[in-house]
Amino acid sequence: MLLRREAAMDLHSVDESASRFRGYIEKIAGAIGHPARRRPLQDYCTGLMGPSERKSVEPIAAVTAPDRTSAQHQALLHFVNESNWSDEEVLTKVRETVLPTFEAHGSIEAWIIDDTGFPKQGKHSVGVAPQYCGQLGREGNCQVAVSLSVANHHASLPIAYRLYLPREWASDRKRRRKAGIPPEIRFVTKSQIALEQIKTALAANVARGVVLMDADYGRDGNLRRELRALGLTYVAAIQSTPLVWSPGTGPKPGRRLPKAREEDTDLVSVKEVALALEKSAWKTIRWREGTAEWLSSRFARVRVRPAREAEEWLLIEWPQDANAPIKYWLSNLADDIAFDKLVDIAKLRWRIERDYQELKQELGLGHYEGRGWRGFHHHATLCIAAYGFLISERETIPPSGARSTSQFAQIVLPEGYRPRGSAAAA
């Protein structure tokens, strides 16, 4: 919020940006169906980028229609909770509109799969259950959504987003009916949701990138096998415990890999591999310029063969001041990839953390107060749509890469904004 107050925009810049925003909304509106939904679409996205600390329907209505807040509130409630428009089609249109703006700075380098949690007090919001919540840093009562983002070193954008439905919700007919959960939605794991999102992106011919994932997904050997079968490369974070054939041992390439057993003397944990490496294996590598200085750490890499899998890279991070290695990755990237390039790609996963930070703090991703399936996803889709515009708008305000989304809110919501009234969308 501080950046918003500090930003200084002249009226000419505001007018130009407002015109680009209207053009952006026109493109997105093509995927939203009935023409009557265009105005609520614009108002909702405007409210998400507005000055309110809370980005739920009521404060959005107050910001976008201060003279008729009650009617606006009802119109926006209907639009986000009841209107039968497709989240997938809108996200597709956002992707097609926004990707060219940062692909101009380089091709897509990564597909990032991740999930994010939303703490909740009650038990009635769709999908809420006691489960691990990253925002809390522990298990808590929350909703969790799985997403797929595309990224390069310039920018990133979520292109798929779906609520994870715990077993107790998936099997409860009464709760399903009350929350409006579509009948085709069944219990699947988060990894299965992510794999489905990846297959959809492949079918849509989205430019491919290296699949990046944290240890919650990287430890899933089936997911890694599925990605290899799809012809995709990955850098998958893992814990320190997975077993691999120690370097120079294990079945020869082309032979059937036997099932791993604890008593196999040649199978060791990746931590044991790291601890056994010679001092010369470790190299200090920097990968990204931070706010004050370049980010760097000490890394080693070695070719290993995970149990019953093909040979691939094991990348290890062990900072000089740490007592033990702190991070491990498995990767099927080419065996001749440069060391610093492997580190650079692995560390590109920070983009999804930035996405979630800005979507939550600046655009109210977690502020939805309804309880239904449709409203939960509609709100998230509109947050991503607003975020997509702000990513595009960065290109018009140098320096393009160093500013928070909040800095751009006023370019589409200038002081004195008074939108026309909007009827409830069809």
pLDDT of res. 399: 43
- What is the reported pLDDT for 332? 97
The answer on 200 and 226 residing in a single domain is no
Model confidence pLDDT, tens digit, residues 73-129:
999 999 999 999 999 999 999 999 999 998 888 999 999 999 999 999 888 999 999
Q: Residues 384-405: what's their mean pLDDT?
A: 71
How many Cβ atoms are within 10 Å of 363's Cβ, its own excluded?
A: 26
- Give the tens place of pLDDT for each residue, 297-350: 999 999 999 987 889 999 999 999 999 999 999 999 999 999 999 999 999 999
Q: What is the pLDDT of residues 224-274, one digit of tens each?
A: 999 999 999 999 999 999 999 977 777 665 555 555 554 556 799 999 999
* Statement to judge: residues 188 and 281 lie in one domain: no
Residue 6 is predicted with a pLDDT of 34
The predicted pLDDT at position 420 comes to 43
- Rounded to an integer, what distance in angstroms lies between the CA atom of residue 101 and that of residue 106? 10
293 and 280 assigned to the same domain: yes
Give the DSSP letter of residue 36.
G
* 26 token code pair: 């026109």
Distances (CA, A) of 293 to 170, 288, 296: 48, 9, 9
Average pLDDT on 410-422 reads 47
pLDDT of 414 strictly over 50: no
403: exposed, middle or buried (C-beta count within 10 Å: 0-12, 13-18, 19+)?
Answer: middle
Of 219, 229, 210, nearest to 191 by C-alpha is 219
Considering 312, 328, 348, which residue would you say is the last residue of a domain? 348
pTM of the model: 0.88
Distance CA 389, CA 98 (A): 7
Is residue 423 domain-resident? no
* Lowest mean pLDDT, pick from 6-10, 198-202, 348-352, 412-416: 6-10
End-to-end CA distance of the chain: 34
pLDDT confidence of residue 100: 93
Is residue 2 scored above 50 in pLDDT? Answer: no
Q: 296 lies in a domain? A: yes
The kind and range of the H/E element at 360 are helix 350-361
Residue 257 lies in a domain: no
Give the mean pLDDT of 342-371: 94
- Residues 6 or more apart whose CB falls under 8 angstroms from that of 44 comprise 60, 64, 76, 79, 80, 382
pLDDT at 412: 53
315 and 278 in a common domain? yes
Chain centroid to Cα 231, Å, comes to 22
Cis peptide before 399 (omega within 30 of 0): yes
**375 falls within a domain:** yes
Residues 387 and 334 in one domain: no
Which residues lie below 8 Å from residue 412, measured CB to CB, with a gap of 6+? 17, 18, 21, 46, 49, 389
On whether residue 158 sits in a domain, the answer given is yes
Backbone φ and ψ of 39, nearest 5°: -65, -45
In this prediction, residue 14 carries a pLDDT of: 63
Does residue 262 sit within a domain? Answer: no
Number of domains in the chain: 2
Residues 198, 191: contact at Cβ < 8 Å? Answer: no
Range of the domain at 11: 2-208+352-411
166-170, 262-266, 284-288, 311-315 — which is least confidently predicted?
262-266
- 8 lies in the same domain as 124: yes
Considering only residues 420 and 161, tell me which one the structure prediction assigns the higher pLDDT: 161
Are residues 181 and 289 part of one domain?
Answer: no
- For residue 206, pLDDT over 70 is answered with yes
pLDDT at 18 over 60: yes
pLDDT of residue 339: 98
The predicted pLDDT at position 307 comes to: 81
Domain boundary pick from 307, 328, 348: 348
Q: Comparing C-alpha atoms, which of 273, 284, 366, 263 is closest to residue 324?
A: 273
- pLDDT of 10 > 90? The answer is no
- Listed in sequence order, the residues at least 6 apart from 66 whose beta carbon sits closer than 8 Å to its beta carbon are 418
* CA dihedral sign, ordered 170, 176, 179, 181: positive
Average pLDDT, the chain: 87
Residue 312: both structure tokens together: 């691939």
Residues 11 and 143 in one domain: yes
Nearest partner of 117 among 150, 151, 140, judged by Cα:
140
260 is a domain residue: no
Average the pLDDT over 40-47 and give the result: 96
pLDDT greater at residue 174 or residue 292: 174
Separation CA 253–CA 232 (nearest Å): 20
Q: Check pLDDT > 80 for residue 42.
A: yes
Q: What is the number of other CB atoms lying within 10 angstroms of the CB of residue 23?
A: 11
And the tokens for 309?
Answer: 């899998």
Do 91 and 204 lie in one domain? The reply is yes
Last residue of a domain, one of 301, 327, 348: 348
Query: Positive or negative, the Cα torsion across 303, 305, 310, 315?
Result: negative
Q: Is residue 104 part of a domain?
A: yes
Same domain? 156 vs 234: no
Residues 51 and 197 in one domain: yes
Residues 202 and 220 in one domain: no
Q: What is the mean pLDDT of residues 192-221?
A: 97
The first and second tokens of residue 97, run together, are: 């509109």
Query: Which residues lie closer than 8 Å to 272 by C-beta, 6 or more apart?
Result: 246
